Structure 1
Amino acid sequence: MKSSNTSRRAGLSFARLAVATALAFGVAGSFAASAAESGKSNEQLREMLPASVRDAGTMKVVISLAYPPMEYSDAGSTDLKGADIDLAKEVADRLGLKIDFQNVEFPQLITSVTTGRADMIWTAFSDLTKRQGQLDFIDYFKTGNKIFVPVSYQDNIKAVKDLCGKTVSVATGTNWVGIMEDLSKQTCDASNQVNILQIGTLGEQLMQLKQDRAQAVMMGFEGVLDLQKQQPDKFYTIGDLYDPGNYGIGFAKGSTQLRDAVQATLEAMKADGAYEKILDRYGLKEAAVDSFTVNAGK
């Protein structure tokens, strides 16, 4: 993807210049809200897009399946569902773009964007300081991490210390790996650490639990809530909400024009209620952020 750090062409429309000015003074949210109320939001937001994306007519979004309720497909179907999917579709629609979802393994997300194969990462991906060297983030979703355990272990595993010497599964390449490693060091003796098993998908993790190759799983609390909803009375949680933070939409450095257009579109969606409505569709309204910050991760 080409850098968008260069000055915009002299032929910008007045509406596009007004949006850029609003962003420069940090009032993109109020501008987007005002535009939404006037009924001109979509046209003005579209003017904010870099010419390369606007002319291509497509927003390329890289995701990593499956992680319900954020992004998933029902059994036997290829139709994508989830809070991330619906939010991204709404943003693309308001920007007058088609959307192209590209599914990759989680460790491939960053390179998919930095090499230009995709325009953005939008897939339950945490905004972390260590990732900001390669990416810029729009923080759009509150999250944190929980450990869940099958009810068959409830007499033996009642606290994190009971996992010492046992196996906990985490998704490959995620920050959950480091969180679980730190928690093991803090909780267990050096000779009796938690065995951390990295697995690609939740379905595979559940299979490890079923076969007793793992005794617990760590993942985002929204995924745990959905799992408990889909399979009631089969799992329980232990410990605290670890490392609370935000999921972020990831953009390559230099893609500031596209980033700002998406941010302003989200602000418009918040102003007219569409943002919270989509989250509430999946029981996630409490995860709504108060404002869409950039690179606020820790």
Structure 2
Amino acid sequence: MSTMRRLASIALLSLAMGGVGQAVAGDSPAALLPDAVRSAGKLNVTVSLAYPPMEFNDAGSTELKGFDIDLAKAIAERLGLKADFQNVEFPQLIPQVVTGRSDLIMTAFSDKVERQTQLDFIDYFKTGNVFYSTADHQASIKAEADLCGQTIAVATGTSWVTWAEDLSKTTCGADKQMNVIQIPTQAEHIMQIRQGRAQASIIGLEGLLDLMKQQPNQYYQIGAPGDINYYGIALAKQNSQLRDAVLAALKTMKADGSYLEILNRYGLKDAAVEEFTVNGAKK
């Protein structure tokens, strides 16, 4: 059989076999896309600003920057799509996706077992929680135990809230618990500390490293990183086809080094995962 006739026969066989033909084409991440997403030509990505170096914009600018932004754009490009970003308050992230208003969440969003009831996660970033404060507190607040009885400003609706509350119960006396208050953004947390309404806040290790890099000698870390966990790209449970396409795109980026290149762009190489895991969190 000639080469041309053989190729034609393979193509006809793939069409006839339906799903098997798609699996053969699965070497291309774009081939795994749901028809609706492919037809739309864009990947709707929900973020919650601002959390440098993951997602942020410069003062006076609406241009989105950060590791998550660059990685989302690169994933979309691998899928033959354009990334379209929507910014919402953190508590609105899950409703945004489960109602179909967005395709996925990609915004320093922790993979948690309780969230897996509604979402599938692709774990792509290793992190840990740290307390931090402004340098003027460094003499009086040296360890986590020094935060007992103090006010901690924490991002609304995040896993940091329960982490702080649990740590308070195990570290502090019943009459001297940490007062955990929920406020949306990092900038507001810092304002609360500077105004004396809070004494510390919580951030992912990557966020604190960036903050100390941008403003040397202004902030410091309290205690060691805790609750080592993973940020995940989150999709609605029923969106498994898109999940698999995104996962395939990430794997090609890890293979050719572009995943690590984007991490290095923001000084985050130590946050790289050895492999991309679906729903890796067990707690």
Q: Flag structure 1 segments of 5+ consecutive residues without an equivalent.
A: 1-8, 21-30, 32-43
1:138-157 to structure 2, matched below 5 A, reads 138-157=122-141
CA contact (8 A) 1:142 1:246 kept: yes
In the alignment, is the contact (CA less than 8 A) between 1:143 and 1:220 conserved in 2?
yes
| Paired position in structure 2 for 1:130 | 114
| Structure 2: stretches of 5+ with no match in the other structure | 1-14
Deviation at 1:154, TM superposition (A): 1.3
> Is the 1:149–1:236 contact (alpha carbons within 8 Å) kept by the matching residues of 2?
yes
Aligned to 2:277, the other structure's residue is in SS state: coil
Residues 1:15 and 1:79: Cα distance change in structure 2 (over 3 Å): farther
1:182 to 2:166 alignment: yes
Judging changes above 3 Å, is the alpha-carbon distance between structure 1 residues 242 and 10 closer, same or farther for their aligned structure 2 residues? Answer: farther
Is the 1:15–1:47 Cα contact (8 Å) retained in structure 2? no
The reply to whether residue 18 of structure 1 matches residue 24 of structure 2 is yes
Note the aligned Cα RMSD (angstroms): 1.5
SS at match of 1:226: helix
- Residue 166 in structure 1 maps to residue 172 in structure 2: no
For residues 246-287 of structure 1, the C-alpha deviation after alignment (integer angstroms, 9 at most, x for no partner) is 000001011111000000100000000000000100000110
Q: Distance in 2 between matches of 1:16 and 1:72?
A: 38
Question: Counterparts in 2 of 1:282-293, with a 5 A limit?
Answer: 282-293=266-277
Do the aligned residues in 2 keep the contact of 1:137 with 1:249 (CA within 8 Å)? yes
Q: C-alpha separation between the residues in 2 aligned to 1:154 and 1:15?
A: 62
Q: Distance in 1 between matches of 2:58 and 2:265?
A: 16
Deviation, 1:13, is 8.7
Distance 2:64 2:16 in 1: 40
Query: What SS is found at the alignment partner of 2:229?
Result: strand
Structure 1 residue 12 displacement after superposition: 4.7
In the other structure, the counterpart of 1:199 is 183
Residue identity matched to 2:23: L
* Structure 2 residue 265 is matched with structure 1 residue 281: yes
Q: Which has the larger radius of gyration?
A: 2
Q: Secondary structure at the match of 1:191?
A: coil
Q: CA offsets per residue over residues 130-186 of structure 1, 9 Å max, x none?
A: 100000000000011001121111111111111111111110000000000011111
Q: Does 1:72 align with 2:78?
A: no
Tell me: CA distance 1:90–1:12, structure 2 relative to 1, closer, same or farther (3 Å). Answer: farther
Task: Quote the Cα distance in structure 2 between the aligned partners of 1:168 and 1:193.
Answer: 11
Distance in 2 between the 1:10 and 1:182 partners? 57
Q: Give the partner amino acid of 1:192.
A: K
Q: Which amino acid aligns with 2:196?
A: D
C-alpha deviation, 1:15, in angstroms: 6.3
Number of aligned residues: 268
Instruction: Tell me if 1:215 matches 2:221.
Output: no
Residues in 2 aligned to 1:78 and 1:10: alpha-carbon distance in whole angstroms: 48
Name the % identity: 59
For the Cα contact (< 8 Å) 1:45–1:265, is it kept in 2?
yes
